[in-house]
Structure 1
Amino acid sequence: MRTENFVSDVVRRAVEALYGPLDGEQLQIQKTRREFEGDYTLVTFPLLRRSRKSPEATAEEIGGHIVANAPEVEAFNVVKGFLNLKLSGAFWGARFAEAKAEPRFGEAPDTGRTIMIEYSSPNTNKPLHLGHVRNNLLGYSVAQILRACGHRVIRANLVNDRGIHICKSMLAWKLYGGGETPASSGMKGDHLVGKYYVEFDKHYKEQIRELVAAGQSEEEAKKNAPVMREAQEMLRRWEARDPEVRALWETMNGWVYEGFDATYAAMGVAFDKVYYESQTYLLGKNIVEEGLAKGVFYRRPDNSVWIDLTGDGLDEKLLLRGDGTSVYMTQDLGTAFRRFEDNRLDDMIYVVGNEQNYHFQVLKLVLKKLGYAWSDHITHLSYGMVELPEGKMKSREGTVVDADDLIAGMVQTAREMSDELGKLDGCSEEEAAAVSSMVGLGALKYFILKVDPKKTMLFDPRESIDFNG
């Protein structure tokens, strides 16, 4: 039932009961202005020739008749010649129940378009931090908006679970961990692994200082530091599928995934598909061979494969190393192809920081030169970095705002402020905790999303949990 139609019928019946048939005459009914009490307003001036009374008296007479005969209208008031009608709570409850019963309640008509949006994309060598919070909230919000517009949306996460940075945490745990686990330490798994990423950097810097003191240049020392050489060797063993390295990798990644899942749940974000770089980093090699055959790419004497984009105002881009190993662009070419083919995508949106603007510019151009028409349907949702008053966050140095700490801090502040204001009086502990969580997370999401995505955010933890304004 349309509310406007219902109100019109109620008013028409009252007018005709009082003054006779309207004979097709239209009633002037509109939504009540914000400064007056009521839901709908009848303009009585056109009815005065029938009532032969003043505007106020006519409005009082019609309003009294409606309230006496239509229980859905609980009250009325008159402002000069305007009759303001207030609908009952029972009426609105019935309308909401009708709407909720609709199979596609709150959804736009299906557009038939399938859109994948990739966000989060964490590394498994550290916990999620404030930068990831901005990424996740932007990505999830855009996904919700697109879904509300009637598109079929696939929320995707590409987990960076391989590479030298992962081996750094693994090696540090092996050298200095003493068998520590999430269970033995009481730490979330992602925090435990992140602890050893910082530990690696501490020993790496110390070894660099020792080598420089012994006469090596800083550049030489960075390459020759024993822990870096061991990490590179571990990466080679991982790529060779060494059973011992792979077992440690699976164990430590498992700790991280449990930690990530807890943080995602606290943030209120989710995914429909999760991809892993360890499964996708080789995908682009066939596309590189295809580009060579088409003459789009070229091979250098050292066997590496490149594309020359200088004619497009860019530079020359490496696509495959001389030893045949992939680079990020190789992986992204293959992953984009596989996603469009497997999911029959109409659009692909990457939520990635603006440090990767050039990368996505190149990705789209390379795919276009290879003849993939869907390259025009790739969008990079670029957003600004989140910086602290002290400068950029650095995970390897531990100078980050941890996502779990931030969430817990927001919830705790919401609880303290609500207690001070007496907002939780009479609530059970369970109810108070639920309210604090909703308010704290709502404030965090507002703080993040109110800033234009393109802008770099300056985040001061001391000011972020100010609930004023």
Structure 2
Amino acid sequence: MHFETLLAAHIQQALSSVFGIAAEKIALQTTKPEFEGSHTWVSFPFAKATGQSPEALGKAVGEYLVQHADFVANFNVVKGFLNISLRHEAWLQFFNTLQQMPDFGQAAPKQQKVMVEFSSPNTNKPLHLGHLRNNFLGDSLARILTANGYEVIRAQLVNDRGIHICKSMLAYQQAGQAETPENSQTKGDHLVAKYYVAFEKLYQSQIQALVAEGMPKEQAEKQAPAMQEARELLQKWENGDPETLALWRKMNGWVYAGFDKTYQNIGVRFDKVYYESETYLLGKSIVDEGLANGVFFKKPDGSVWIDLKAEKLDEKLLLRNDGTSVYITQDLGTADMRFQALSLDKCIYVVGNEQDYHFKVLFAILHKLGRTYGQNGLFHLSYGMVDLPSGRMKTREGTVVDADELLADMIDTARQRTDEKGVVNMEDFSQADREKLYHQIGLGAMKYYLLKVEPKKRMLFNPEESIDFQGDACPFVQYNYARTRAILRKAEDLGIKHQTTHTVGTLQPAELHLLHLFYDYPATVQQAADSLEPSLLVQYAYQLAKGYSQFFAECPIFKAETPELCAFRVALSAQAGELIRKSLGLLGIESPERM
């Protein structure tokens, strides 16, 4: 049942019959919480044509709706905004229909294929806090787009080659190559990172020594023995030296195993994994194409460039004078390969805002090359850095905010909060069930907190604030889901079958508010997909949990005045729980059955 369609048709009739105005499109929005009503029509665009003030026009249209639309109960006008209230019977009819729609909020297939590329780590260190925001954004977008009918491919491009991994390899060689994840009882990605940090410490000490001898710092950074050895190792890798390749494969294998454990712990998966070592040569044929078409040009030293000044960007290097490619060249080739091999309609890159310029250049080049997907098939979901209360993340110094450690801390905090505050009755929980619940609460709190801020904004992640059973935090939402499940278990024990086909009389405000929230779910999912904004689902989940909490406090369920009203409120509880579960699920968050 689409109330917007019905209301729009009646508003068009009102404008036509009362004022002789033909309105092709009528836009309706959800009424703001501080006003009475469920749907709002803005009269301003039609005031001049009708010769009415916005206030008078809103009043006239509202009166027409009450007289001619049998599902409209009343209205109010606030400064030209017509707020419309529907009859309770209409909402009950909607609710009856909703009970027969298990796929409520799932759009029909769109026959469009979308790739979401996210995570894309380097293989010299574990995932960190910034990667968590990236992964949670990418994973939730994939879920939201799937719910909107898209065929979604989750992809990551692993940066598995280059000087960074050679630094770890060199330090490992110099340490004797004796340590392994097994004999050190260390996750593989953490072990490789240990040697990356060791390299950096040695490298920085060498730079300081050279500078103390009078060498300029920039020259010292190039001449430091550690860096020269790392470059020699990179040259061996590029030349296919068997011993170097064997070490590279071994250490990268450790990192991949570590990454997989982290992904499993945070509930993230991928359909396609690309490795830069397999894609870095892609794009050179595109350089030849661009030169032939006059889109690119050569400088006297033989390097290849593109001039993007007309696009307010700049000149961009595409091929060095020694014939080696740069990152943008690889990205051009990778984009072509993906769209051709997978017949993509769109590719969304989830990458931090430090790469904003890079993606503007990438998309501009593909557009100038005449790629059809370069016009509107590419999108960079840019997001801001994440800070902790203790300060900004650091990398080379070994003080990076590690994803595994942060998750473990979140689970410990969840354990302490639930045990200390006694908000969860865990008397009949096995130890395994307890640990599962702590994980669900801790991980859910972290995902919710990182996703509730718009991606483009830099944010502060406060672990203490994120685990809150009372306010705008995931444990509060999860708790209200578990509360609905407890209601259903009790109803089953009492033999109460929830139903909605009977007449329950006048709805209480909290009941009506829940029905409004139920109705808003599909539009919220669609809006989140269209705007690539998972934060909209976070807001929805919180509002629904808050609405159910208010309903639970104000509307007795098992002590309702009649058995019919009891059954109806059980049905409301069931639907509230289902939509809390669905909305959290689109964020990649689990809903505990008991809390």
Given candidates 444, 454, 464, the residue that maps to 2:446 is 444
- Is residue 443–residue 467 contact of structure 1 (8 Å, CA) maintained in 2? no
Residue aligned with 1:307, SS: strand
Map of 2:41 onto structure 1: none
Q: Which residue of 2 aligns with 1:210?
A: 209
Name 1:241's counterpart in structure 2. 240
Q: What is aligned with 2:429?
A: 427
Aligned to 1:24: none
Aligned residue number for residue 58 of structure 1: none
Q: CA-to-partner distance for each residue in 1:38-96, whole Å, 9 max, x for gaps?
A: xxxxxxxxxxxxxxxxxxxxxxxxxxxxxxxxxxxxxxxxxxxx99xx9xxxxx9xx98
Structure 2 counterparts to residues 96-111 of structure 1, below 5 A: 107-111=106-110
Q: Mean Cα displacement is larger for which, 169-178 or 104-113?
A: 104-113
Q: 1:465 to 1:395 in 2, by over 3 A?
A: farther
Q: Counterpart of 1:392 in structure 2: which amino acid?
A: R
CA shift for structure 1 position 106: 6.3
Are the structure 2 counterparts of residues 204 and 465 from structure 1 closer, same or farther at C-alpha, using a change threshold of 3 Å?
A: farther
- Higher Cα Rg: structure 1 or 2? 1
Cα distance between partner residues in 2 of 1:307 and 1:466: 52
- TM-fit CA distance, 1:361: 0.4
Instruction: Verify the 8 A CA contact 1:419 1:425 in the aligned structure 2.
Output: no
SS in 2 for 1:158: strand
Structure 1's 399 and 467: CA in aligned 2 closer, same or farther, altered over 3 A?
farther
Of 454, 457, 464, 1:455 maps to 457
Matches within 5 A, 1:227-376: 227-376=226-375
Once the 2 structures are TM-superposed, how far is the Cα of residue 387 of structure 1 from its aligned partner?
2.6
SS at 2:200 equivalent: helix
Using structure 1 for the length normalisation, give the TM-score.
0.77
- Counterpart in the other structure of 2:144: 145
Change beyond 3 A, Cα 1:224–1:203:
same
CA distance in 2, matches of 1:180, 1:406: 25
Instruction: Report the equivalent of 1:47.
Output: none
User: One-letter code of the match for 1:444?
Assistant: M
Deviations 1:125-158 (A, max 9, x none): 0000000000000011011000000110001011
The separation in 2 between residues aligned to 1:322 and 1:196, in whole angstroms, is 33
Q: Structure 1 residues 386, 314: CA separation in 2 closer, same or farther (over 3 Å shift)? A: same
Work out whether residues 126 and 395 of structure 1, in 8 Å CA contact, stay in contact via their aligned partners in 2: no
Structure 2 gaps, min length 5: 2-87, 472-595
Q: Percent identity?
A: 61
Cα shift at 1:460: 4.5
CA contact (8 A) 2:410 2:463 kept: no
Q: Residues 146-174 of structure 1, C-alpha deviation per residue, up to 9 Å, x if partnerless?
A: 00001100010111101111111111111
User: 4+ residue stretches of structure 1 with deviation over 6 A?
Assistant: none
C-alpha distance in structure 2 between counterparts of 1:267 and 1:150, whole Å = 25
Give the CA RMSD over aligned residues. Answer: 2.3
Task: Summarize the Cα distance change of 1:198–1:468 in structure 2 as closer, same or farther, 3 Å threshold.
Answer: farther
Q: CA deviation at 1:217?
A: 1.0
Deviation at 1:311, TM superposition (A): 2.2
Equivalent residues in 2 for 1:4-43 (5 A)? none
User: Where do residues 94-173 of structure 1 align in structure 2 (5 Å cutoff)?
Assistant: 107-173=106-172
Letter of the aligned partner of 1:149 in structure 2?
A: N
Equivalent AA in structure 1 for residue 386 of structure 2: V
Q: 1:395 — aligned with what?
A: 395
- What secondary structure sits across from 1:392 in the alignment? coil
User: How far off its partner does 1:99 sit?
Assistant: 6.0
Distance (Å, rounded) in 2 between the aligned partners of 1:338 and 1:139: 21
Q: Which amino acid aligns with 1:157?
A: Q
SS class of match (1:397): coil
How many residues get paired?
A: 379
- Cα deviation per residue 1:3-58 (whole Å; 9 max; x = unaligned)? xxxxxxxxxxxxxxxxxxxxxxxxxxxxxxxxxxxxxxxxxxxxxxxxxxxxxxxx
Displacement after TM superposition at 1:273 (Å): 0.6
Question: In 2, Cα distance between the equivalents of 1:174 and 1:461?
Answer: 38
Distance 1:431 1:461, change over 3 A: closer
> Who is 2:409 aligned against?
409
